[in-house]
Amino acid sequence: MVKVYIDGQEGTTGLKIIERFQNRKDIQLIKIDEDMRKDANERKRLINSSDYTFLCLPDVASREAVSFIDEDNHHTRIIDASTAHRTNPDWAYGFPELSLQYREKIAKSNRVAVPGCYASGFNSIVYPLVANGYLPKDYPVFAYATSGYSGAGKKAIAIYESDNKPNEYNSPRQYALTQQHKHLPEMQKVCGLTYQPMFNPIICDYFSGMVVSVPIQTRTLDRKVTPQEIYEMYLKHYDGANFVKVEPLGGVGVLADGFLASNTLSGYNGMQIFVFGNDEQILLCSRLDNLGKGASGAAVQCLNIMMGIDETTGLL
């Protein structure tokens, strides 16, 4: 039995991780007393007494928590759900389905950075396109996404769930309008893009789930490709994946009404890849739960890989 501590156990991601551990018999969950949650010495003690520590914290607090690890401590392994270490080459990037190299690094590393929710959807689409030579590294990539409000933080969640929320909260709201969203460096680095993509996130009045979409004008590529080619490429790239499923071309048999909803996978750890369009214009979409494969589910999946057990443990 391994000892697991969650630094930030009262946050949305921390609570979801705890929920996923409810029926686990191989884990001893260490909890900090409520009145000690911000006590640095107690947090340090628990981090160093654990086999695995999840960091479900703001970036600054996450970096501080890593500094708490004693120099002679060679057993505590860190899984960070913040943005702090996702572009750090010394940390493994926690998206094992992207490549065998990613999976192997997660298994061996003592430091794993869990991908951001938007970045998970974006990278699931764009990484294979670049890696398989369909998209030039200097391509001007544009993406947009619709997401539930659960990833917006406690204050925003409280507003969305209040009886007297402002009228504009009833409408989808675009944000990060300055093109400085915190996931952009991660998207660029992981996919190997020369330039940061343009990204348009939209928060909506439902709890969780998201769709990240990337449109491609085929005339702008080095060579013309068809939706069928892209679809077959994704099938091969994600062959055997437990949590990433490439749906039939055009969503046939999956989207009976021709609409792609964003909340369908709420509460589930899977991810769906869709290819739509025609020979001139292709729309690529990734649907996931921002609290599942986009956060807590991905974190637990990484833990399982690091433990050397079935990666689906506690996630199906």
Instruction: Report whether 291 contacts 224 (CB < 8 A).
Output: no
d(CA 197, CA 215): 12
User: Widest CA span of the chain, in angstroms?
Assistant: 61
Pick the catalytic residue: 117, 191, 285, 302?
117
d(CA 263, CA 289): 7
Quote the DSSP letter at residue 293.
I
Stated as kind and residue range, the H or E segment containing 212 is strand 210-217
Helix 40-49 with 59-67: angle, nearest 10 deg? 60
What letter represents residue 62's amino acid? S
How is the beta sheet containing 27-30 ordered, strand by strand? 27-30, 2-7, 52-55, 77-80, 111-113, 92-93
Contacts of 201 (CB under 8 A, 6+ apart): 118, 144, 145, 147, 174, 175, 176, 181
Question: Residue 204 catalytic?
Answer: no
- Residues with catalytic function: 117
